[in-house]
Structure 1
Amino acid sequence: MTEGADVSQVSQTTVQRVTADLYVEVQQFYARQMPLLEARKLEEFLETLTEDGSIEHRPGGWKLEGRRQLLTEMQARRGDPERPLVEEISAREAREQNVSYYDGLVYRYWFDRMHIEPVGEDTLKVRYQAIVSMTDAAGKVSFEPTTVVDDVLVRIDGALYTRSRVVTHDSPAWADKIHNPS
């Protein structure tokens, strides 16, 4: 920055501001969407994605596209909190062995530092940090590795939907982490 430059002009040209209404709308979208996943209401959760919506895990993970493929995968992995606690297993092993990953656990998604960028009349890019906590019946809490999430949200008939979600895990070995270690 040059000497005497007006800081307010610099920040206004480098940061696109969003309205408070838009910020609250996006927050409320996630406040409706993620509890559906936590409650394992998978069909309802997937209705918050576009029909061709995708979720991708990086690095070294997988990409699932479309509600049908996502539903099949989520039904196989999301489990039931009322079932016995799953054995110690990684996400990759659970997929390879076709076993549920979250049996016996209540999980919660925590978002922070949300940045919203309008990229068209009906399209938003949203980036945030996230962590997943898992609580077993005895009250023990464990965490998944932290992530950065990049979503593309689209407005269809006035409502927001997720078109794509890319979850970038902070640990390159995230998929091989032992799940809910004892």
Structure 2
Amino acid sequence: MTVSPPQAPYVCAELYAQIQQFYSRQMNLLDGSAADPVAWSQTFTEDAVLGSNFQETPDTGRAAILKSMRDALAHISAQGTGDFRHWLAMIDVQPQPDGTLRTRYYGLAMATPEGGSLKIRGHVLCRDELVRRAGRWLVRRRHLEADGVPA
């Protein structure tokens, strides 16, 4: 008989829905012609850290994260990618003893040029640490692991 490893308890449906809605609203701030990187950056704490396997050093602080995102959006726009969208799924939420949440989810970046077909631009495994401040969730730490990036 095979025994499965113990699983952490599930979070309540209300909390899970809050986190799904947080991510939906956060990523919608980067999509399409109405992208708002300033509002997006406000979903991070002032001292947040955003790192990845495709950058040499992580961005530390909201201002650095905003600058990187503005640069990324300018790069995407310069490529003439048309409509740019994100799709997040498979969100796992793990509450921590200190009240923070650790999340793990997949992100898919897609672009559709005018008159063209949808193209997948990348797939990323995302790991976040979320904190509750002034009644809302914020990202304190994010680490992205893009598929296909050499180790």
SS in 1 for 2:29: helix
Q: Go from structure 1 to structure 2 and tell me whether the alpha carbon gap of 1:61 and 1:145 turns closer, same or farther (over 3 Å shift).
A: farther
- Tell me the equivalent position of 2:99: 122
Q: Which residue in the other structure is 2:77 paired with? A: 102
Q: Distance in 1 between matches of 2:142 and 2:45?
A: 11
Read off the aligned partner of 1:75 and give its amino acid letter. Answer: R
Q: Is the 8 A contact 1:107 1:132 kept in 2?
A: yes
CA distance in 2, matches of 1:160, 1:170: 27
Provide the aligned length of Structure 1 versus Structure 2.
147
1:42 corresponds in structure 2 to 37
| Counterpart residue type for residue 31 of structure 1 | S
Larger radius of gyration: 1
Q: Distance in 2 between matches of 1:32 and 1:145?
A: 20
1:68 aligns with one of 63, 71, 76? 63
Q: Kindly indicate which of the two structures has a greater share of residues assigned to helix.
A: 1
Is the Cα contact below 8 Å between 1:60 and 1:172 reproduced in 2?
no
Deviation for aligned residue 1:136: 1.4
- Give percent identity, aligned residues only: 29
State which of 139, 143, 146 in structure 1 corresponds to 2:123.
146
Alignment check: 8 A CA contact 1:53 1:164 kept: yes
Name the TM-score, length of structure 1 as normaliser. Answer: 0.72
Letter in 2 for 1:22: L
The answer for the alignment partner of 1:93 in structure 2 is none
The residue matched to 2:96 in structure 1 has which SS?
strand
Rate the CA distance shift 1:61–1:168 in 2: closer, same or farther, 3 A: farther
- What 5-or-longer segments of structure 1 have no aligned partner? 80-99, 174-182
Distance 1:70 1:60, change over 3 A: closer
C-alpha displacement of 1:55: 1.6
**Which SS does the other structure have where 1:160 is aligned?**
strand
User: 2:115 aligned with 1:156, yes or no?
Assistant: no
Structure 1 segments of 4+ aligned residues over 3 angstroms from their partners? 59-62
> Higher strand share goes to which structure?
2
Q: Is there any run of 5+ residues in structure 2 with no aligned partner, and where?
A: none
Q: What is the one-letter code of the residue matched to 2:69? A: M
RMSD between aligned alpha carbons? 2.3
Q: Report how far residue 101 of structure 1 moved.
A: 3.1
* Cα offset, 1:60, TM superposition: 5.5
Aligned to 2:13: 20
Where does residue 179 of structure 1 map in the other structure?
A: none
Q: TM-score, normalised by structure 2?
A: 0.85
Distance in 2 between the 1:16 and 1:44 partners? 33
Distance in 2 of aligned mates of 1:48 and 1:22 = 17
- Residue type of the partner of 2:76? Y
Displacement after TM superposition at 1:40 (Å): 2.1
